[in-house]
Amino acid sequence: MKIAIVILNWNGEVLLERYLPSVIKFSEGLADIFVADNASTDGSVDFLKLHYPNINIIQNSTNGGFARGYNEALESVTADVFCLLNSDVEVTQGWLKPIINFFLEHSEAAIVQPKILDLLKKDHFEYAGAAGGFIDQLGYPFCRGRIFQSLERDQGQYEDSIEIFWATGACMFVRSEVFRELNGFDADYFAHQEEVDFCWRAKNQGYKVYYVGASKVFHLGGSTLSNMNPKKTYLNFRNSLFSITKNLPRRKAFLIIIVRLLLDGIAALRFILQFRFRHCWAILRAHLSFYRQFRKMYRKREKAKFILKYYIVKSIVWSYFVNGVKNFNILVKD
């Protein structure tokens, strides 16, 4: 099995200097390594050419964000499996073999993610992906090990390999033929939740997504946009509405969009009460962008039969904010 590790970079010279060595050291002989540069202006490409002349460099002409950046870069990469890896990820010894073995032993596996731990707090799961992603009935994403801002300590509770709903873009392994069949990520997302949409489309086509706990990496997180950045609020709220529009049966999608718009209004009010006015404005902008692009998103709906059982809880918002459930295992028991 030929693996291609593709690291998307934008002005991340410092991150490449810090974390690329672990990728090279612990992937030697098992994978080819590429850095796809999104038109950086900080000297990233010169740094790579000087210090890592054997690394394959793909230079995108513009910064098209995560989605378009990977779509363009992977057109020139040949492999059985792509590993899409953030530039702020530190990999560990033996991280690739469990993933490779899982693909070889499970032909139905199209997308796989490892365990994602916090680089700054290594005994805790990290926000982006943790131990595998899920969504609730209203399309809100959450993870085993992370519900909203609550992160669990890694105590060996998620050492298994299980089917999940979505895999994180921070470290996602995907069969190349599946990536190309689905036409890659939706470039209209730019960044954030494009992996949720991608996995949702894959599942609508009958493919399966898995988490493999025997492989682990450490993610710094927030190196592009922190959770406190209003742009991230804008992208998350808008892109979630995009995914619902594209990936659910028509009647169900319309009903859920109405509910989500109302809940987004409550979230905006909460930001006002917290004096976080820029985040409130970000939600309004997200809605306006959604309205403008609704027809375009609607035309992207898959022709495949929509999966009806896509969620494991009805409302993660109610469970978390009303019932106070902050642990995944308690959540699923309820």
CA angle 272, 275, 279 (to 5 degrees): 65
275: which residues sit within 8 A by CB, 6+ positions away? Answer: none
| pLDDT tens column, 256-285 | 999 999 999 999 999 999 999 999 999 999
Size (the chain), residues: 334
**CA-based nearest residue to 82, from 70, 69, 98:** 70
The token pair that represents 99 in the structure block: 């993933």
Q: Domains of the chain by range and CATH?
A: 3-219 (3.90.550.10), 230-302 (no CATH)
- Cβ atoms within 10 Å of 263's Cβ, excluding its own: 14
What gap in Å lies between CA 252 and CA 262, rounded to an integer? 16
- Where do we find the tokens 């999940």? 164
The token pair that represents 142 in the structure block: 């959450």
Torsion region of 93: left, alpha or beta (phi above 0 gives left; psi -120 to 50 gives alpha): beta
Ordered per-residue pLDDT tens for the chain, 334 residues: 999 999 999 999 999 999 999 999 999 999 999 999 999 999 999 999 999 999 999 999 999 999 999 999 999 999 999 999 999 999 999 999 999 999 999 999 999 999 999 999 999 999 999 999 999 999 999 999 999 999 999 999 999 999 999 999 999 999 999 999 999 999 999 989 999 999 999 999 999 999 999 999 999 986 555 567 899 999 999 999 999 999 999 999 999 999 999 999 999 999 999 999 999 999 999 999 999 999 999 999 877 789 888 999 999 999 999 999 999 999 987 6
The alpha carbon torsion through 124, 28, 111, 296 (nearest 10 deg) reads 100
What percentage of the chain exceeds 70 in pLDDT?
Answer: 98
What gap in Å lies between CA 240 and CA 140, rounded to an integer? 8
- From the number of C-beta atoms within 10 Å of its C-beta (0-12, 13-18, 19+), residue 292 rates as exposed
Rg of the chain taking only CA atoms, in angstroms: 19
Question: What ranges make up the beta strands (E) of the chain?
Answer: 3-9, 31-38, 56-60, 81-86, 89-91, 109-118, 121-125, 133-135, 141-143, 146-147, 150-151, 161-164, 171-175, 208-219
